[in-house]
Amino acid sequence: MAECGASGGGSSGDTLDKSITLPPDEIFRNLENAKRFAIDIGGSLTKLAYYSTVQHKVAKVRSFDHSGKDAEHDHEPPYEISVQEEITARLHFIKFENTYIGGCLDFIKDHLVNTETKVIQATGGGAYKFKDLIEEKLRLKVDKQDVMTCLIKGCNFVLKNIPQEAFIYQKDSDPEFRFQTNHPNIFPYLLVNIGSGVSIVKVETEDRFEWVGGSSIGGGTFWGLGALLTRTKKFDELLHLASKGQHTNVDMLVQDIYGGAHQTLGLSGNLIASSFGKSATTDKEFSKEDMAKSLLHMISNDIGQLACLHAKLHGLDRVYFGGFFIRGHPVTMRTITYSINFFSKGEVQALFLRHEGYLGAIGAFLKGAEQDNPNQYSWGENYAGSSGLMSTAPELGPTRRARSGTFDLLEMDRLERPLVNLPLLLDPSSYVPDTVDLTDDALARKYWLTCFEEALDGVVKRAVASQPDAADATERAEKFRQKYWDKLQTLRHQPFAYGTLTVRSLLDTREHCLNEFNFPDPYSKVKQRENGVALKCFPGVIRSLDALGWEERQLALVKGLLAGNVPSRPLWSRSPWERPWLVDSYSKWLQRLKGPPHKCALIFADNSGVDIILGVFPFVRELLFRGTEVILACNSGPALNDVTHSEALIVAERIAAMDPVVHSALREERLLLVQTGSSSPCLDLSRLDKGLAVLVRERGADLVVIEGMGRAVHTNYHAALCCESLKLAVVKNAWLAERLGGRLFSVIFKYEVPAE
Amino acid sequence: MLKLVGGGGGQDWACSVAGTGLGGEEAAFEVARPGDREEADGWGPGWGCAGIPDPAPGAGMLQAGAAGPARGGQGAEEVGESAGGGEERAVRHPQAPALRLLNRKPQGGSGEIKTPENDLQRGRLSRGPRVAPPTPGMGDRSGQRERLAPHSLGAPPGIGTAAVNGLLHNGFHPPPVPPPLVCSRGPVGGGDATPPRLPLLPELQPQPPLPQHDSPAKKCRLRRRMDSGRKNRPPFPWFGMDIGGTLVKLVYFEPKDITAEEEQEEVENLKSIRKYLTSNTAYGKTGIRDVHLELKNLTMCGRKGNLHFIRFPSCAMHRFIQMGSEKNFSSLHTTLCATGGGAFKFEEDFRMIADLQLHKLDELDCLIQGLLYVDSVGFNGKPECYYFENPTNPELCQKKPYCLDNPYPMLLVNMGSGVSILAVYSKDNYKRVTGTSLGGGTFLGLCCLLTGCETFEEALEMAAKGDSTNVDKLVKDIYGGDYERFGLQGSAVASSFGNMMSKEKRDSISKEDLARATLVTITNNIGSIARMCALNENIDRVVFVGNFLRINMVSMKLLAYAMDFWSKGQLKALFLEHEGYFGAVGALLELFKMTDDQ
């Protein structure tokens, strides 16, 4: 039932350490605009939540006003770029030991500029205890919120908004953490919260949940009984003792009762017949370790058994575990998992949450922020501002960490638009965007981490260069370097820190870190220049394409799509265009083109410049000719040199001015430009802009074209769709090419038709 | 299958003593019934005192031995039987003899006497020779094999007679006859013989004696047939045994319809077992007879008598077996039906040390059959099953009889060291739903560790005096009252031992509080799991049995309360007077069934 925090010692919360030195800018960030505070105080850990707004620099593009003027001069860019300030919403969650609560509250008070806030939502067992302190220090009225309600709200929130929030834990396998892709429908599920007692709650919808049972044998039993048996006072120490013990010295096993006959009877001799049974019949001393281990097994098994009985009664196969007994402790995750597997015979899955510790605070925050309706938005984990699973703000560096105690952070950015599944996914519940799981594949992990480390200098340089007029660019770029470097080091040791480690997550983390230091779009000028050049070439390319025969033109169009993916100065010795390609279903595609036109094609664009203008648009034009409608989807925000939606709009407008086909298609809405909702060089088809999804459904898209290495190889290479799809890329990485069985600049042309 | 053999020696009841002092036991025995010794020649005491080294026993054995041979010779045993049976046995336990001998050595002052017994069972041909010299044919191994074999099986005490008069089965035998043949108690005793019997011998009707060519097993069968005469009945003594992780439960049927003639013919050690068991209520240091549970005037397998309920700690098992060996229980050739894990664990020891072969039985089968049987015969005119009326009102809560005539379906929760939960749909249709390792063993184990107590009784006594709310964290300790959001009462336990997270509280509680909290924790947990199983299986009657409930009113009332409260009155908790003994009763029933099957 009640949550009662745990890692520390029993009563440490009373003595408040005010002298602690906090690195405020890195812990309690953006306090100036903070509002809607919520606090969850457990037995030993405090979780603080608040909402604030963050000013970001954002690169905006805008067409020049050409009206009246004649065409642009040769050296004039096709559009103008401006950096603007934009306000975005961010949720901050900070976890720290109760010891620091006084100091933290003082710090918050001192930095809290916004005085509109009058109330702080509070939950957790300690909320009552610290009520006066909070009210006195913050001069906010404490509004107590129900613990379980907060937990459940928090759980729903992270399950919906954080991909790979949940994981299963397998001690002896590599990786130990196996993250789950989010089920499109998270309900119904069972939440088992193991605090001092155990609460089992069935959650059916956002607002409907039911306490279906509980048990008094929980974390408090382990701690209390363990303290009595071993004279060890701290929860963590008890767990440590348990991890070294042999429960078979204390428990009566099946083989103790049956002797060796258990084998012939098909019984597993190692099963515990009676917990602590040997201490009832044997007159001897038992070691602390052995007793702690036996106790741990007893409690974990009991909880697992009850959870299974409830899961069975309610026909549920997903059970999420939380509470201080579980929180980040591999020992208890292991025993609970074992127990669930044993009692359910594998039919029920024990799932744990990366942000389990924050659920109460998140829920309390959501309760207090209901008028802002945070649930109508999608939120994304900000990798730059969040410490990973089982790591305590490692970016602080060891010395500062020692000074500041253990602080753990989670930040979530509000996304402008809700994200949903692409309706064309064959099976949304089994869709995994990423092709290679780097948590799983040590070799690949090593390679890519090194690869990103080595590329860091270049990124820093590019970032500085993108803001020639900013005096502090170099300084910020160095901060960026440090932050991203630290993230990479964390990931070397804890590949599971942010969910499954993938090339995509490495790329996304880099983008988040760049944003963090106000480098919103280091490539904006590069893209601008390349777009300008490519636009100039467009008419010529179209002319030469139109001059080709139908069959030749189809090949040329495909090469064009692929070519935009390749460095402009060819480095290859052998032409990559020589077929057969590494993956080559071009003939099948050509055959298909001889048939009836597709109704509507959804195209995910990749790079700016040559790629979008000389590759994608001619291809789009050909489809339009055939009578196929086209939805052209581009990133909402910048990532590398990928074309953004706003850039694409300008490009399309410019092309329309040159090309009547595109012009009329735009006008007649046979060509639609939409945003993906993403700012990643990769593509997660389960988190796409809702508008895109609606359009796809309305138009009855029956062809999906995904181009570029990030979207078609690092991700989605294995994605199964329920319509035809083209996945095109040139492999620009020798290591990856080799993995795929080819060489650098191998061509992937994957045309797939779903099985009937 | 097995045989039971002998019964065992009482000595070992005391587990703490185990291994060491027979002396102590003996003393206990003596105290209990001083007179026996003489009467029984040491056998009587056997149960209690195992007086092994004692001369008296030796003497007893002697007599028996003498008797045996005498009879055995007599033709009866020789009755023919199918060869198969006997052989099988031999094959199965080839080496047993050697071991046995070793064990016995101490026993016997008198070599000769001993011999016959030793051989008992397995009637191994080879053994023959070893058998007492007096026996004819002994010398000549090869020639007399067959004959010898029987002898060897035969246990010393005069089984032979039994064969003759048909009573033998029941363990009664005519007075020892001096000389000749080795006795054949084969039939009865050969522990080995018994098992094969069942399968081997299809026909039980009396058959003409076959003088030769019979294996010991055959002889056994033969004898049995003759004994039972009117009815197939296993030989006395009748025991059913359930060897659990913590306790051994033994039921003993004491025939009360023994005729004077029978009494006279009853072999000495059988008689002494009977007298010893029925005239004492404690055996050694730790053996107890639950006198209040005794079922009187019961008719079992055609005999009238009383069913006695005895228990002793499983750790005394080795002493028990040792005594079985010393007292030569194998000579009684009854079948020892045993269930519980210990039936498997100790099988080898029974065979090697005491020359006794167990008939091992599935514990859940036994549990159910035993339960149904005891319920059907009632508890000396009173009902076996009861429940608590007004379980949620301490003032009005009281024990009431419950009629379990139509028991299905029922959820059967057997609480021993650990807990098994069965869904029972009919006499033979049941499934084990689940189990938990948090059972009686956990209660006692934790109590021992937390309070330093040593026995279940002590632990319960402390628990009765304690207050668990000092130890547990209640809902109101957290929420200041009821947790209304979830409809939890403030008095509900939120976290067992939850207050023990705090040092001050740890320093302020008593051992009694800890014992109580342990009891409440374990009981509520079992109740909670049982309730979930009842829901999952859609069964509304939950029958709680097992020795965890012995003298444990606190747990029974808690369970009754929990079932009623959490199910809003939908579930009923039922209890049975003979809570922990159903497995043993089931094992005994199996003994009769074996016989019937034949």
Q: What is the pLDDT of residues A62-77, one digit of tens each?
A: 887 655 444 455 567 8
Contact indicator for B48, B156 with CB cutoff of 8 Å: no
**Sign (positive or negative) of CA dihedral A7, A10, A11, A12:** negative
Contact indicator for A418, A690 with CB cutoff of 8 Å: yes
* C-alpha torsion A248→A251→A254→A255, nearest 10: 40
Q: Which pLDDT belongs to residue A406?
A: 65
What span, in angstroms and rounded, lies between the C-alpha atoms of B498 and A142? 27
Residue B10 has pLDDT above 90, yes or no: no
Closest-CA residue in chain B for A260? Answer: B345
Q: Show residues of chain B in contact with A307, CB under 8 Å.
A: none
Closest-CA residue in chain B for A6? Answer: B501
B363 labelled catalytic:
yes
Q: Is the CB of B497 less than 8 angstroms away from the CB of A2?
A: no
Residue A8 has pLDDT above 50, yes or no: no
What span, in angstroms and rounded, lies between the C-alpha atoms of A663 and A669? 10
Q: Show residues of chain B in contact with A11, CB under 8 Å.
A: 502-503
Q: In what order do the strands lie in the sheet with A45-63?
A: A141-144, A119-123, A35-41, A45-63, A79-97, A408-415, A378-381
Token duo for residue B576: 């049975």
The type of residue at B140 is D
Average pLDDT of chain A is 87
Q: Is the CB of B16 less than 8 angstroms away from the CB of A283?
A: yes
Q: What is the pLDDT of residues A80-134, one digit of tens each?
A: 888 888 888 999 999 888 888 888 888 888 877 666 778 899 998 788 888 898 8
Q: What is the pLDDT of residues A242-255, one digit of tens each?
A: 999 999 999 999 99
Entry field: residues in chain A = 756
Average pLDDT of chain B is 71
Token duo for residue A97: 């030991």
pLDDT category, A489, cuts 50, 70, 90?
Answer: very high
Per-residue burial over A495-532, b if 16 or more Cβ lie within 10 Å, else e, is bbbbbbbbbbbbbbbbbbbbbbbbbbbbbbbbbbebbb
What span, in angstroms and rounded, lies between the C-alpha atoms of A682 and A629? 24
> Cα distance from A293 to chain B (closest Cα, Å)?
14
Determine the angle formed by the axes of helices B582-597 and B363-377, rounding to 10 degrees.
Answer: 90
Closest-CA residue in chain B for A200? Answer: B486
Residue from B363, B384, B577, B579 carrying the catalytic annotation: B363
Any idea what DSSP says for residue B499? G
Lowest mean pLDDT, pick from B5-14, B212-221, B359-368: B5-14
> Cα distance from A94 to chain B (closest Cα, Å)?
24
Residue of B313, B442, B486 with shortest CB distance to A275:
B442
Contact indicator for B186, B193 with CB cutoff of 8 Å: yes
Q: Is the CB of B478 less than 8 angstroms away from the CB of A125?
A: yes
| Residue A132 burial (C-beta neighbours within 10 Å; 0-12, 13-18, 19+) | exposed
Q: Show residues of chain A in contact with B516, CB under 8 Å.
A: none
Q: Long-range contact list for B391-399, CB < 8 A, 24+ apart? A: B391/B557, B391/B560, B391/B561, B391/B563, B391/B564, B391/B565, B391/B573, B392/B561, B392/B564, B392/B565, B397/B557, B397/B560, B397/B561
> Which among A354, A442, A438 is positioned nearest to A390, based on CA atoms?
A354
What span, in angstroms and rounded, lies between the C-alpha atoms of A566 and A584? 18
Q: Is the CB of B494 less than 8 angstroms away from the CB of A197?
A: yes
* C-alpha torsion B226→B230→B231→B232, nearest 10: 10
What span, in angstroms and rounded, lies between the C-alpha atoms of A665 and B491? 73
Residue of B449, B473, B535 with shortest CB distance to A220:
B473
> Which among B63, B31, B67 is positioned nearest to B49, based on CA atoms?
B31
Q: Is the CB of A196 less than 8 angstroms away from the CB of B442?
A: no
Mutate which of B495, B511, B522 to test chain A, going by most A C-beta atoms within 10 A?
A: B495
User: What proportion of chain B, given as a percentage, has pLDDT over 70?
Assistant: 61
Q: CB neighbours of B398 closer than 8 A, spacing ≥ 6?
A: B388, B389, B390
Q: Show residues of chain B in contact with A213, CB under 8 Å.
A: 528, 532
Closest-CA residue in chain A for B515? Answer: A225
Q: Which pLDDT belongs to residue A398?
A: 42
Token duo for residue B550: 């012995």
Q: Show residues of chain A in contact with B483, CB under 8 Å.
A: 1
Q: Show residues of chain A in contact with B439, CB under 8 Å.
A: 274-275
Angstrom distances, CA of residue A236 to CA of A6, A9, A394, B268, B526:
8, 8, 21, 65, 28
- The more confident residue out of A62 and B443 is B443
- What does DSSP say about strands A703-707 and A724-731: parallel, antiparallel, or unpaired? parallel
Q: What is the pLDDT of residues B251-275, one digit of tens each?
A: 999 999 988 888 888 888 888 888 8
Q: What is the pLDDT of residues B15-59, one digit of tens each?
A: 333 333 333 333 333 333 333 333 333 333 333 333 333 333 333
**Sign (positive or negative) of CA dihedral B26, B28, B33, B34:** positive
Residue B170 has pLDDT above 50, yes or no: no
Q: Is the CB of A1 less than 8 angstroms away from the CB of B444?
A: no
Any idea what DSSP says for residue B17? T
Q: Is the CB of B441 less than 8 angstroms away from the CB of A280?
A: yes
A-B Cβ pairs (cutoff 8 Å, strict): 231
Entry field: residues in chain B = 598
Per-residue burial over A639-678, b if 16 or more Cβ lie within 10 Å, else e, is bbbbbbbbbbbbbbbbbbeebebbbebbeeebbbbbbbbb
ipTM, two decimals, is: 0.85
Token duo for residue A737: 């090419």
Q: CB neighbours of A623 closer than 8 A, spacing ≥ 6?
A: A597, A598, A601, A630
Q: How many CA atoms lie within 13 A of B19 on its CB side?
A: 2
Q: Is the CB of A10 less than 8 angstroms away from the CB of B501?
A: yes
Token duo for residue B16: 């703490």
Q: What is the pLDDT of residues B318-328, one digit of tens each?
A: 999 988 888 88
Residue B200 has pLDDT above 60, yes or no: no
- SS3 state of residue B185: coil
pLDDT category, A391, cuts 50, 70, 90?
Answer: low
Contact indicator for B481, B436 with CB cutoff of 8 Å: no
Q: What is the pLDDT of residues A37-52, one digit of tens each?
A: 899 998 778 899 998 8
Q: Which pLDDT belongs to residue B59?
A: 36
C-alpha A733: how far from its chain's center? Answer: 25
Residue B313 has pLDDT above 60, yes or no: yes
Q: Which pLDDT belongs to residue B39?
A: 37
Q: Is the CB of B16 less than 8 angstroms away from the CB of A274?
A: no
User: What proportion of chain A, given as a percentage, has pLDDT over 90?
Assistant: 61
Contact indicator for B242, B587 with CB cutoff of 8 Å: yes
> Which among B336, B342, B340, B341 is positioned nearest to B357, based on CA atoms?
B336
Q: What is the pLDDT of residues B422-436, one digit of tens each?
A: 999 999 999 999 999
Q: Which pLDDT belongs to residue B260?
A: 87
> Which among A168, A107, A164 is positioned nearest to A138, based on CA atoms?
A107
Lowest mean pLDDT, pick from A84-93, A264-273, B27-36, B476-485: B27-36
Closest-CA residue in chain A for B505? Answer: A224
Q: CB neighbours of A583 closer than 8 A, spacing ≥ 6?
A: A740, A747, A748, A749, A750
Secondary structure, 3-state, A176-207: CEEECCCCCCCCCEEEEEECCCEEEEEECCCC
Q: What is the pLDDT of residues B73-132, one digit of tens each?
A: 333 333 333 333 333 333 333 333 333 333 333 333 333 333 333 333 333 333 333 333
Contact indicator for A219, A5 with CB cutoff of 8 Å: no
Q: Which pLDDT belongs to residue A65?
A: 63
Token duo for residue B454: 């040593």
> Cα distance from A708 to chain B (closest Cα, Å)?
53
Helices (H), B74-212: 83-92, 96-104, 111-119, 127-130, 141-153, 159-165, 186-189, 194-200
Q: Which pLDDT belongs to residue B89?
A: 34
Contact indicator for B162, B223 with CB cutoff of 8 Å: yes
- SS3 state of residue A670: coil
Q: What is the pLDDT of residues B331-373, one digit of tens each?
A: 887 679 999 999 999 999 999 998 888 999 999 999 999 999 9
Q: Is the CB of B497 less than 8 angstroms away from the CB of A225?
A: yes
Closest-CA residue in chain A for B498? Answer: A220
Any idea what DSSP says for residue A263? T
Q: In what order do the strands lie in the sheet with A724-731?
A: A583-584, A746-752, A724-731, A703-707, A600-604, A629-634, A671-675
Could you tell me the pTM of the whole model?
A: 0.79
Q: Write out the DSSP string of A481-541.
A: HHHHHHHHHHHHH-TTBTBS--HHHHHHHHHHHHHHTT-S-TTHHHHHHHHHHHHHHHHHH
Q: Show residues of chain A in contact with B448, CB under 8 Å.
A: 279-280
**Mean pLDDT to the nearest integer, A215-232:** 96
